[in-house]
Amino acid sequence: MNNILTVTFYGGVGSVTGANFLLQDSNTKILVDCGLQQGSVESYENNKRAFAYNPAEMDYLFITHAHLDHIGRVCKLVRDGFRGTIYSTPETRELATVMLADALRVMEMKEREFTDGPKESPLYDIKDFNQAFSLWKTIPYHTDFKINEDFSVYLKDAGHILGSSMYEFSYKGNLSTRAEYGTGQRKIVFT
């Protein structure tokens, strides 16, 4: 059976925030980033919406860097059923602990401000935060890392913020017929 390698854009399209991409074949589902949408009136409501995919079906999440428009919905992803492995550089993981804990404090503070009317729960709570970081592992720069039989990844320094990385995914699975695509592995880079 031939696998079809696809990339689907669930955020960071038509806007510079809310990065969320899905790289997949018939066996593996890899998310890249899971960020908050920011800067518009609709952002708050969009961030609360259910994901367009089933988080429980995702195998991996790779985080490019620790800005909230790339990490802000990671704990919500876990709340909604993600139990795969989260990967980033060690520096990004460290910064993400601070950023996501601070974002939770801000959400809880905003919730307390609005005492009139029904209270809305934050996107995630401390339990989701702790669960997310129990799933989070690190990969250093300039390391070839085998994800599974078909995918591997290589991290390059993006130079954006401390720990930011570009992910160069290599794919060895069948793409289609050799006549159409040639032979060898395929690469795709997320920056």
Helix axes 90-113, 126-135, angle to 10 degrees: 170
Residue given tokens 């899971």 in the structure block: 34
25/29 Cα distance (integer angstroms) = 7
- Burial group, residue 187, by CB count within 10 angstroms (0-12, 13-18, 19+): exposed
| pLDDT (tens place) for every residue of the chain, 191 residues total | 456 899 999 987 777 788 999 999 999 999 999 999 888 878 888 888 999 999 999 999 999 999 999 999 999 999 999 999 999 999 999 999 999 999 999 888 876 665 555 566 788 999 999 999 999 999 999 999 999 999 999 999 998 999 999 999 999 875 554 444 455 678 999 98
The pTM of the full predicted model, rounded to 2 decimals, is: 0.88
Q: Which of 55, 65, 64, 1 lies closest to 29, judged by CA?
A: 55
In angstroms, the CA 166 to CA 156 distance is 5
